[in-house]
Amino acid sequence: MPLSPQERQEFLAQPHVAAFAVAAGTGRGPLTVPIWYQYSPGGEIWVLTGPESQKMRYLRETGRFSLMVQQVEPTVRYVSVEGPVTRTAPMTDEQHREMAARYLPAESVDGYLKAAEAFGEQVAVYLRPERWLSADLGDPSAF
């Protein structure tokens, strides 16, 4: 069963690790990698990446990407969203802290941010959700 618009937005707002996908050119499948993301229902999705990363190079060519998040317990459920890049901006310290705090225990955030300095410059890439696909397939033990 597809999720309702409210259910899919609430599910996407949870801190799942997403599968990020962007077209990689003629004759190739999409570049697909795990990524942290941020989303609030009704808003834009944003991710962080290096300004010269492979992801960013393909994003500049295509202008759009997809994210897919899933869970397999206690129910098999997923949401996939696709849309255009609306803007790219230099990452702020506040955004970096927000993203780290979304995925890591509070006691690990400062250490992660210190170690992440080695990643170099990062940018925030924003997506406006345009197409959604979702399902709740139920309890996997019932299969």
What are the tens digits of pLDDT across the range 78-108?
999 999 999 999 999 999 999 999 999 999 9
Q: Are 112 and 98 in contact (CB under 8 A)?
A: no
Q: Tell me, what's the pLDDT at 143?
A: 62
Split at pLDDT 50, 70, 90, the class of 138 is confident
Distance separating alpha carbons of residues 27 and 139, to the nearest angstrom: 38
Give me 90's structure tokens. 């230099």
- H/E run at residue 100: helix 93-103
Q: What does pTM read for this prediction?
A: 0.92
What are the tens digits of pLDDT across the range 13-60?
999 999 999 999 999 999 999 999 999 999 999 999 999 999 999 999
Nearest in space to 58 (alpha carbons), one of 95, 23, 27: 23
